[in-house]
Amino acid sequence: MLSDLYTRRALVWAFANRDFATRYRASVLGWAWSLIQPLATLIVFAAVFTVVFRIQAPPLGNGNGSSYAAFLFTGLVTWNLFSSLLNLSMSQLKSNGELLKKVQFPAWTPILGASIVQLVQILLELAVLIAMFLYLRNVGWTWILAIPILIGALLFSQGLGLMLSIVNARYGDVQYIVAVVLGALYFLTPVLYPMSMIEGKNEILGWIIRLNPMSWYVQAMHDAMYSLVAPSALVIGGLLLGGFLTFWAGFAIFNRWSEDIGEML
Amino acid sequence: MTQTSADPAVDLRGVGKRFQRHTDRRNSLKERIVRGRARSSEDFWAVRDVTLQIPKGSVYGLIGHNGSGKSTLLKMIGGIYRPSEGSITAQGRVAALIELGAGFHPDMTGRENIALNGSILGMPRKEISAVTEEIIEFSGLGDFINDPVKHYSSGMYVRLGFSVAVHMKPDVLLVDEVLAVGDEEFQRKCFDHLYALRRSGRTIIVVSHGLGQLEGLCDEIAWLERGVVQEHGTAVETIASYLRRVNAEESARHPMVAAVRRLRHDPGRPHRVDGHHRQPAAPRPLPGACRYL
C-alpha cells in the first residue's frame, strides 16, 4: 500500500497542482476567500452563541478568563478538516469521471491530490488560530501535541473519505446520507459547546457524543491548544492509531471496489 | 491468413466482456434493498471469445458496425475495463489516445495541461519536461500554448492531445476514432508520426470507421460483429469482405438505393451470381477519403 502511494506520488502531485492552480483562478480575491469563509462563520457563531445562547467557554490555559471565539475556532478548524476532506473526496470521482472512463490510472490519485490542496486551506486556518492565541497570550508547550492529533484527524478523515467516495460511486444515495449525518454529527461534536455543559447533566447524550470519533479529536485539540493541558498519552496514541487504521482500511476498501471504476461512473 | 507472431505485443485469449443491461441501473440503495441481490437484469456480451495476436511493430485495425464491441475491446486492452473472461497480456506501456483532451482542464494553459496529461498517461515527470518543447513544436500551437485551453478550437485540442500521447512513446498506442479530426496537414503529420512509431518497433491499434484511412494505415485488421471476430487478416482482404457484407445487407434492405449506388460506383460491372444469392460485385479498393458512398 505504501509503495503504491510512493510510486504514484507524481500523479497525485500533478492533480494537486491542477486543483491548486485552478481553485480560485476566476475569483478576484483568490485565496483570501479560503480565510474569509471560516472567519465569517466564526463571527456569526460567536455572536449568536455568546449573545443569544450565552454559552460560557471554559477558562483559557493561561488563566486570563475565557474566550468563546477562540474555543469555537479551535473546534471549527478541526471539524472543517474532517468535513471538507470527506466532501471533497466524495466529489472527486464524479468530477474526474470522464477521465477515469478513458484513461487507466488509480482512482485515488485525484482524491489525494484534492486533499493536498485542502491541506493548504487547513494550514491557513491553523495560522489564524495560532495568531488568535498569540493575541490572547495563550501559549504553551502542549501545542506540539496538536501535530499528532491533527495527523490522526487527517488520516481518519481521508480514510473515511476514500471509503465513502467509492461506496458513493456505486450507490449515489450515499452523498445525501452523508450530508444528513454530517449535519447531525456537527451538533454531536463539542464544537459549539464545551463537554462540561453535557457531562453530569445528560448521561445518554454524553455517551452518544463520546461514541463519535470526531469528538475525541476536537476535545484533544481543545485540551492542547485552548486549555493548554496535555491529553493523556493513551488518548493521543489512540487518535493516531485510529487515524492510521481508518486510512489503511479506507485505502484497502477503495482499491478493492475501484477495480471496475470505469464502468461504475 | 492468421498471422501468429512468436512474440505478440498484445495477446488476447478468449476475451469476453459481459455487461448487465439495466432499464435503470441499480445503484440506489432503495433498489438494492427492495429487490435484493436477485439478478433481474439480463446479461449482455459486448465482446465474446476474442482470440487475437497483435504482432509487435504492426498497425492493427478494428472495424465493425456501431456497437460491435470495438471500443469495449480497446478499453479492455487499455485496462479500463476488466475482461469478464479470458486474458489479455500486453507488453510494455500501453497508452490510450481515446477521445483526446479528456485529461485537459479548461482553465489551465496548454503548457500546464501537457504536464498534467503526461502524468495521467503515466509519463515520469523528467521525461515530460524533456519532451515538452517537442510536443509544443509538433502541435503547431505556437504562442497559444500559454493560453487556457478553454479558448482553443476543437482542432487545437486534438492536436495538443495527439502530440502528448504520441510523445510519451508508448509500446502500444490505442487510437479510437480520432484521426478524422484536425486539418489535412496535421492529419498527414499524424500519419507520418504513426509510421515513425511503427518503424521504431511500437504497436498501434486503431478503431475507425474510415475504411479508406485504415486500408492505407493498417497491416492487419480484425472485423468484429456483435462482439465476435468475424474475420481477421490482411487489411485489404478484411475490408473487402466487410464491405461485401455491408453492401449485401444494404441491397437486401433497400434494393433500389443499392442499385443506384452500384451504378454510381462502377456502372460497367455486371452482377455476379454466387450460388442462389445475388450479391453485388466486390468493390474496388476505396479512394482515400471515401467511405461507403
DSSP string, chain A: -HHHHHHTHHHHHHHHHHHHHHTTTT-SSTTHHHHHHHHHHHHHHHHIIIIIS-PPPPPPTTSS---HHHHHHHHHHHHHHHHHHHHHHHHHHHHTHHHHHHS---THHHHHHHHHHHHHHHHHHHHHHHHHHHHTT---GGGGGHHHHHHHHHHHHHHHHHHHHHHHHH-TTHHHHHHHHHHHHHHTSTTSS-GGGTTTT-HHHHHHHHHSHHHHHHHHHIIIIII--PPPHHHHHHHHHHHHHHHHHHHHHHHHHGGGHHHH-
Residue B124 lies in domain:
93-170
- Residue B196: all three cell numbers together: 515513425
Residues of chain A found within 8 Å of residue B99, distances taken between Cβ atoms = 102
Q: Do B107 and A25 touch (CB under 8 A)?
A: yes
pLDDT, residue A55, reads 85
Task: Measure CB to CB from residue A18 to each of B30, B79, B116 and give the nearest one.
Answer: B116
CA distance B288 to chain A (A): 29
Candidates B73, B80, B82: best to mutate against A (most CBs of A within 10 A) is: B80
Q: Which three cell numbers stand for residue A61?
A: 490555559
Of B285 and B198, more confident: B198
| Residue predicted with more confidence, B185 or B284 | B185
Answer whether B78 sits within 8 Å of A101, measured CB to CB: no
User: Are B90 and B9 a contacting pair, CB within 8 Å?
Assistant: yes
Range of the domain at A188: 2-264
- For residue B143, tell me if it sits in a domain: yes
Find the distance separating the first CA and the last CA of chain A, reported in whole Å.
Answer: 24
Quickly state the pLDDT bin for B36 (edges 50, 70, 90): low
Q: Does B114 map to a domain?
A: yes
Structurally, chain B folds into a number of domains equal to 1
Residue B2 resides in a domain? no
pLDDT in tens, A135-165: 999 999 999 999 999 999 999 999 999 999 9
Q: How many CA atoms lie within 13 A of B161 on its CB side?
A: 26
Q: Determine whether the interchain pair B105/A22 forms a contact, defined as Cβ–Cβ distance below 8 Å.
A: yes
C-alpha cell at B77: 486492452
Residue B148 located in a structural domain: yes
Q: What is the mean pLDDT of residues A4-30?
A: 83
Q: How confident is the model at residue A51 (pLDDT cuts 50, 70, 90)?
A: confident
Instruction: Look at B102 and A104 and tell me if their CB atoms are within 8 Å.
Output: no
- How many domains does the structure of chain A reveal? 1
Q: In what order do the strands lie in the sheet with B172-176?
A: B94-98, B172-176, B203-207, B59-63, B220-225, B228-234
Residue type for position A265:
L
Q: Which chain B residue lies closest to A100 (C-alpha atoms)?
A: B80
Share above pLDDT 90 across residues of chain A, in percent, rounded to a whole number: 65
Q: Report chain B's mean pLDDT, rounded to a whole number.
A: 79
Instruction: Assign B83 a pLDDT band (cuts: 50, 70, 90).
Output: very high
- The pLDDT-based confidence of B279 (bands split at 50, 70, 90) is very low
Find out whether B105 and A17 touch, Cβ atoms under 8 Å.
Answer: no
